[in-house]
Amino acid sequence: MKLIYAILRDDDTENVSQGLISSGFRVTRIASTGGFWRRGNTTLMIGVEDDKVEEAVKIMKENCAQTPEPGSHHVTLFVLNVAHYDHW
């Protein structure tokens, strides 16, 4: 299992979240600010099976607006291994 941390611009949060949820992914949204873009952003935490990581990344790419400025980014991703997971 993997845990994806996706830090994205507030402008893309709703589209990306809805795209993931409608495809069956569970998403936790955390409002965040700070060093990546020095503006409002959102951190999504998405727990996925190993074979679903690429699908989740594809959905995120498809649901982000086009980058307005050359060299700017919409999403920063961290994909981490999960040693143990429980859900009740």
- 19-28, 31-40, 42-51: lowest mean pLDDT where? 31-40
pTM of the predicted structure, to 2 decimals: 0.85
pLDDT-derived band at 68 (thresholds 50, 70, 90) equals low
Q: Give pLDDT, residue 75.
A: 84
Mean pLDDT of the chain: 88
Q: Give me the residues paired with residue 6 across strands.
A: 44, 77
Query: 48: which residues sit within 8 A by CB, 6+ positions away?
Result: 1, 2, 3, 4, 25, 56
- Report the candidate in 77, 76, 63, 78 with the shortest Cα–Cα distance to residue 12: 63
Identify the band that residue 20 occupies on the pLDDT scale cut at 50, 70 and 90: very high
Architecture per CATH, 2-81: 2-Layer Sandwich (3.30)
Q: What is the pLDDT of residue 36?
A: 53
Cα separation, 80 vs 15, in Å, equals 23
